[in-house]
Chain A
């Protein structure tokens, strides 16, 4: 059974304080590793897809990286508007994505 574990569950940072969120996974036949951002009461917003170990993708202050067992979402010099829940998901099964429970990120001004 596919499993996705995200850590920490919650993270509070000061504005400008860089950090990383972790997503570890066990899945047979990884088809992709996905990162989403979710604001309260809204649908998840797609950020990145990573397909192979060593791959990196960037968008503004976010950079996602992938190894054979985990992925990191690095946040550089975050701003309050980066506050959200960040979800990680794996694809590989015939039915769809397996999501982690998310990291709730708060950036304090």
Chain B
């Protein structure tokens, strides 16, 4: 089944404790991205990647890092999480690139206390 997977689905952590949210897609898509979704603010892009080793900032990149060492994987790294990063995070991929339809993972709900 073609899909985007994320792990973990739920995570509660404390301020400053480094964490990684994994994202993997099995559709051979070159373009991948990360979004956060907050009430009243909608979906906002954090980082995106056009291909392996090519990443760039989205609208809200502060406090996040990403890497793209393999085509299928695009992990999101929070090196020192803070409470304002409590949110619902989605990974997505696209067969055509930025500005085209994207296929989303199931989401990771992160709480930072």
Which chain B residues in 64-105 approach chain A with CB under 8 Å? 88, 90, 92, 98-105
Contact residues on A (Cβ < 8 Å of other chain), bracket: 20 to 34
Q: Are B99 and A101 in contact (CB under 8 A)?
A: no
- Decide yes or no whether A93 CB sits under 8 A from chain B: yes
Bound-state CA distance A45–B41 (Å) is 19
Could you say which of B4, B42, B56, B90 contacts A101, with CB atoms under 8 Å apart?
B42
Q: Please encode chain A, from 14 to 52, with 1 for each CB lying within 8 Å of some chain B CB and 0 for all others.
A: 000000000000000001101010000111111001000
Q: Are A42 and B106 in contact (CB under 8 A)?
A: yes
Chain A residues, CB < 8 A from B107: 41-43
Which chain B residues in 18-76 approach chain A with CB under 8 Å? 33, 40-45, 48, 56, 58
Contact residues on B (Cβ < 8 Å of other chain), bracket: 20 to 34
- Decide yes or no whether A78 CB sits under 8 A from chain B: no
Measured CB to CB, the nearest residue on chain B to A9 is: B40
Q: Are B101 and A46 in contact (CB under 8 A)?
A: yes
Chain B residues, CB < 8 A from A100: 42
Q: Are B40 and A101 in contact (CB under 8 A)?
A: yes
Bound-state CA distance A44–B102 (Å) is 9
- Decide yes or no whether A95 CB sits under 8 A from chain B: yes
Beyond A91-B100, A95-B48, 20 additional pairs, beta carbon < 8 A: A31-B99, A32-B100, A32-B101, A41-B107, A42-B107, A44-B90, A45-B104, A46-B101, A46-B104, A93-B99, A94-B98, A95-B56, A95-B58, A96-B99, A97-B45, A97-B98, A97-B99, A99-B42, A99-B44, A101-B42
Q: B residues within 8 Å of A by Cβ?
A: 4, 33, 40-45, 48, 56, 58, 88, 90, 92, 98-107, 109
Q: A residues within 8 Å of B by Cβ?
A: 31-32, 34, 36, 41-46, 49, 87, 89, 91-97, 99-102
